Amino acid sequence: LSLYSSPARETKYVENPQTQLEEGVSRLRHVMEPYTAWCQLGFFFLGTELIVSSKIKVDSSLCSDFFSEGCEFLQNPPAGFYPRLGVIGFAGIVGLFLARGSRIKKLVYPAGLMGIGASMYYPQQAVSIAKVAGTQLYDWSLQGYIAVESLWKDN
């Protein structure tokens, strides 16, 4: 036996088969790839603060006539739109977290917290929506009252 030579080893690489979870995640990533390509996140440090800036790229060929106004708005948003959107979305997530248990809570809490967050940033629109909703609610309650009253009088 020589001190400087070793016998040649025959190695073979064997890849482990993918599990169902890995295949599912892979399929999900391939399906979501066009949508995630739209968003680019950038992380910046200012002193001790972490600033997250997002830029959304929208391909103009994806915008049909129906979505053209929305695409234009997303390409040229007003100042502070994305942080406001983040706060409103986070309020919805907090609402989902607080709404454990009942299905009604899971509908009311996120919608209510998102509505409160949106009304803080957009008060004029919130007032106009509240006026229309109040008028509609009054009309529906009046129609219900008339229907119950007519049923009561018939009997």
Provide the whole-model pTM: 0.47
Rounded average pLDDT over 107-128 = 90
Question: Between these two residues, 92 and 42, which has the higher pLDDT value?
Answer: 92
For the chain, give the percent of residues with pLDDT over 70.
74
Report DSSP letters for 46-91, one per residue: ETTEEEEEEEE---GGG--TTTHHHHHHHHSPPTTHHHHHHHHHHH
Q: In the structure, what pLDDT confidence band is assigned to residue 152 with cuts at 50, 70 and 90?
A: confident
- Could you report the per-residue pLDDT of 66-87, keeping only the tens digit for each? 577 777 777 888 888 888 888 9
Written as six digits, the tokens of 77 are 């948003």
At 118, is the secondary structure helix, strand, or coil?
helix
Closest CA to 74 of 55, 53, 92, 90: 55
Question: Cα(96)–Cα(142) distance, rounded to whole angstroms?
Answer: 33
Residue 20 pLDDT: 86
Residue 75 pLDDT: 80
pLDDT at 1 over 50: no
